Amino acid sequence: MTSETEVRRPSEARDRLLRTASAIFYAKGINAVGVEEIVSQARITRATFYRHFPSKDDLIVAYLRATDEHIRAQVGAITERGHAAEDTIRAIAGWVVDQIKRSDFRGCAFLNAAAEYPDADSRVQHAVLEHRAWFHHVMQNELERLRQEPSEAGAQFFVMIRDGAMAAGCLANRDAVCEAFMRGVEAMLTYRPIADPTGEGPPTEPRT
């Protein structure tokens, strides 16, 4: 008869393996880490590794999926508060700042993975693009709730300055990077298109 512990053990081994690999991948980079290092640090056998993940690529995709789920939960906790759209956008920006200021911050896990796996057909790239499409959708929804008009470009702007802050946060003074990022967010929130009587294009002006 199989005990409850025996039934549970494979999932515990998988979880430990994924947690260990996730920490090492983020800290060192995906291509810099081999299966042997992961197996050693997770204290499992190679057979156990390949039982749960047929290849390293399977583990990498699982790492990105788990990271995606974690971020969705954190951002979802912000959007579900039911606050005004402007406050929600500021809160998401504040969450980004909190990530950059972490002592173990090593940039955006998804941008890092995309840089290491540039092949557009790879499963890694697909996982990265799915995550980014979701985040873009979240920001577009909030901006459209704020402006009551299509805001795809605004969402792209937010994602772009967020990407810049995530990259610069690894290279420059983090406080300065975060301050610049928040200024960019405030500029996005306080500027709006105004009517252009010439029909040559919509200039912008500060909201008062």
H or E element, residue 204:
strand 204-206
Distance from chain centroid for Cα 160: 13
* Terminal-to-terminal C-alpha distance of the chain: 73
Cα–Cα distance measured from residue 97 to residue 175, given in angstroms and rounded to the nearest whole number: 9
> Which pTM was predicted?
0.85
pLDDT of residue 99: 97
Which segments of the chain belong to CATH 1.10.357.10?
57-206
1.10.357.10, 3.10.20.90, 1.10.10.60, 1.25.40.10: which CATH number matches 57-206? 1.10.357.10
pLDDT in tens, 129-163: 999 999 999 999 999 999 989 899 999 999 999 99
pLDDT of residue 198: 54
Which segments of the chain belong to CATH 1.10.10.60?
1-54
Partners of 192 in the β-ladder? 205
Q: 195 in helix, strand or coil?
A: coil
pLDDT in tens, 163-200: 999 999 999 899 999 999 999 999 999 876 655 545 55
The domain 1-54 having CATH identifier 2.40.160.10: the answer here is no
H or E element, residue 123:
helix 123-147
Dihedral angle over CA of 125, 131, 132, 133, nearest 10:
100
Cα–Cα distance measured from residue 42 to residue 120, given in angstroms and rounded to the nearest whole number: 31
pLDDT of residue 192: 67
pLDDT of residue 158: 97
H or E element, residue 39:
helix 35-42
Q: Are 189 and 86 in contact (CB under 8 A)?
A: yes
Mean pLDDT computed over 30-59: 94
pLDDT in tens, 66-106: 999 999 999 999 999 999 999 999 999 999 999 999 999 99
Q: Which of 141, 166, 157 is nearest to 191 (CA)?
A: 157
